[in-house]
Amino acid sequence: MKKALAMLLALMMVLSLAACGGDNPDASKAPEGTTSTAPADESKAPEQPDGDVANKDKPLVWFNRQPSNSSTGELDMTALNFNQDTYYVGFDANQGAELQGQMILDYITANIDTIDRNGDGVIGYVLAIGDIGHNDSIARTRGVRKALDTAIEENGAIKSDAVGINADGSASAVKDGKLTINGKEYTVRELASQEMKNSAGATWDAATAGNTIGTWVSTFGDQIDIVASNNDGMGMAMFNAWSKENKVPTFGYDANADAVAAIADGYGGTISQHADVQAYLTLRVLRNALDGVDIDTGIGTADDKGNVLSDDVFKYVESERSYYALNVAVTADNYNDFMDATKPYAPVANQLDLEKNPTKNVWLNIYNSADNFLSATYQPLLQNYDDLLNLNVEYIGGDGQTEANITNRLSNPDQYDAFAINMVKTDNAASYTALLNQ
Ligand code: BGC
C-alpha cells in the first residue's frame, strides 16, 4: 500500500514536472523506501523529497555536540553556517556547569558537620570526566572546580585537564581549595579525576567509571567525601558500584530517569539540561525551515496550535546560530517533578495539522547508541515529538567511536528532506557536510 502510494506520488511528480517543462533527472527516479525504525503511519505517508532542493541546501541541525575545536572550544562557524537553514541545538553549558558546582557547594554547606567522613579536615572529592574534548564536559569540570575553589586559571580559562591521582594536593591542574562555612575554614581537594574512555575509544563511558571508582576507593578509602561526575551515566555507575552502599553523596548531570529516582536512595543531585526542550527544538527548527516559515514559529512565537516556549527555558544566540536550553538543578527538594524524563514538554506538545505541515523525511543520528543520556532520555523524547511535528525520522545509532560508522549510513541523502547530526567529535563537521556537498 505504502509502495503503491509512493509510486503514485512519483508518477504525479513526473507528470507535473513534464507539464511545466522541468527536466530534473532525480524526479523520474522511483522513490526508495526508508528504513525508519518508527512504524510509518499509512495516513501520513511522507511525500518524496523535493528533487529541486540540492542536499547542500536542505535544513541541517547539529545537536548535542556543537561544531567546535575540541582543544580550544572555538566554534566552527563554517559548519554552523553551512547553509541558511543550519542551526545548533544544545543547552547553556556554562549556566548548567555553574548550577552543578553550586548544587555541590550547597550540599556541603548544609551537611558540613558530617561531610568529612574521616575527620581529617580535608573534604575530598573524585571527579569522573566525560570527554576532555567536549565543551559540555569541559564546562562541567570547570564549574565544579570553580565552586569548590580548586580551579586554576591559565590564559583566562579554568584548567579542565584530568589530574589522575592527586593524593598530596600537588597536581598542576588544580589547587587545594578553601571554603569558609559558618565562619570556619575547610580545605577541599580533588583527590582524583579521569576521562572515562574505554579501550575502544568511547567516551563518557559508564562502565569505565564504575570500575574506576573501585580503584579510587582502594587508594583513598574514606578520604572520599563526595563523588562528582560530568554526567549521570557515569555518576550512576559509581553510585551503584560503591557510593550508594557507603552513603557518599554522588552528583551527576542530565536528570536521566534512573538518576532522578536514585535521589530517594541518596544520590546527591543532578542537573536537568531540559532535554524535553532540546529535543523539541532539534526537530522544530527543521520543521520550520521545511515549511518556509519564520524560524521562531512554535519557539518564541506561538504557532497556530499554541506551541510556544517561554524565555526562561531557552535562548537563541543569532551570532552562533545556536539554540540553548536552560538548565535546572534537581535535588531532594524537587526531584518528584522530574521523574518522567521522556515526557514532552507540555507547552510544546500540541499536534500539528497534516494538511498544513505535511510529513517530511528526516535523517537523524545518535553518535553512540550506548550513551545513557542520548538513548534513555533524548531519543525517546525525539520519538514523541516526531509524531507531533509530522516528521518521519530515520534514527541511526553510532558506535561512539568513529564518524565513518555513521556517515557510511548516509549513503543516499537524496532520500531525505532534512538532517539532524550528532557528531562523535566536535571537530568533525566536515565529514558530514562533505556528503551533503556531493
Ligand atoms: C550529556 C552527556 C552525554 C553527552 C554526549 C552531554 O550533553 O550530558 O550525558 O554523554 O552529551 O555527547
Q: What is the pLDDT of residue 46?
A: 54
- Determine the atom of ligand 1 nearest the C-alpha atom of 254: 8
How much distance in Å is there from the Cα of 270 to the middle of ligand 1?
A: 13
238, 254, 260, best to mutate for ligand 1 pocket (most atoms within 8 Å of CB): 254
* Predicted confidence (pLDDT) at residue 47 exceeds the cutoff of 70: no
Please work out whether the CB of residue 136 comes within 6 Å of at least one atom of ligand 1: yes
Does the beta carbon of 204 sit less than 6 angstroms from any atom of ligand 1? yes
What's residue 34's pLDDT? 37
Say what the pLDDT of residue 31 is: 35
204 Cα nearest atom in ligand 1 = 10
Ligand 1 midpoint to CA 240 (Å) = 20
CA of 99 to the centre of ligand 1 (A): 16
Strands (E), 339-402: 360-366, 391-397
Tell whether ligand 1 has an atom less than 6 A from the beta carbon of residue 373: yes
Q: Residues of the chain with pLDDT > 90: what percent?
A: 87
Contact at 8 Å (CB) between 217 and 238? Answer: no
**pLDDT tens sequence across 82-111:** 999 999 999 999 999 999 999 999 999 999
Residue 253, ligand 1, Cβ within 6 A: yes
pLDDT at 52: 86
- Answer yes or no: is the C-beta of 231 below 6 A from any ligand 1 atom: yes
Q: Is 130 in the pocket of ligand 1 (CB under 6 A)?
A: yes
Q: Mean pLDDT throughout 133-146?
A: 96
| pLDDT tens-digit series, residues 115-127 | 999 999 999 999 9
**Confidence band (pLDDT; 50, 70, 90) for 16?**
very low
Candidates 221, 257, 262; CA nearest to 239 is: 262
| pLDDT at site 2 | 44
Distance 373 CA to ligand 1 centre (A): 6
Residue in 3, 27, 243 with CA at minimum distance from that of residue 128: 243
Angle at 376 between CA 373 and CA 377, to 5 degrees: 65
Residue nearest to atom 3 of ligand 1 (CA): 373
- Among 90, 210, 190, 207, smallest CA distance to 141 is for 190
**DSSP bridge partners of 125:** 190, 226
Distance 157 CA to ligand 1 centre (A): 22
Which atom of ligand 1 is found nearest the CA of 422?
12
Q: Is the CB of 65 under 6 A from ligand 1?
A: yes
User: What is the CA(330)–ligand 1 centre distance, in A?
Assistant: 17
DSSP 265-297: GT--BEEE--HHHHHHHHHHHHHHHHHTS-TTB
Ligand 1 binding pocket mutation candidate from 231, 273, 426 (most atoms within 8 A of CB): 231
Q: Which one is predicted more confidently, 35 or 372?
A: 372
> Backbone phi, then psi, for 368, in 5-degree steps?
-145, 110
Contact 252 CB / ligand 1 (< 6 Å): no
Cα 413 to chain centroid distance, Å, stands at: 24
Q: pLDDT value at position 149?
A: 98
Q: Which of 21-35, 43-57, 232-246, 303-317 has the lowest mean pLDDT?
A: 21-35
Q: Which long-range contacts (CB under 8 A, 24 or more apart) does 378-381 make?
A: 378/64, 378/275, 378/278, 378/279, 380/342, 381/275, 381/276, 381/279, 381/280, 381/342, 381/344
Cell reading at 28: 523520474
Closest atom of ligand 1 to CA, residue 256: 9
Whole-number Å distance, alpha carbon 181 to ligand 1 midpoint, is: 33
The angle subtended at Cα 105 by Cα 99 and Cα 106, nearest 5°, is 85
CA–CA gap between residue 335 and residue 257 (Å, rounded): 10
Query: DSSP label at 47?
Result: P
Is the Cβ atom of 400 under 6 angstroms away from ligand 1? no
Cβ neighbours of 152 (radius 10 Å):
13
Amino acid sitting at position 416: Y
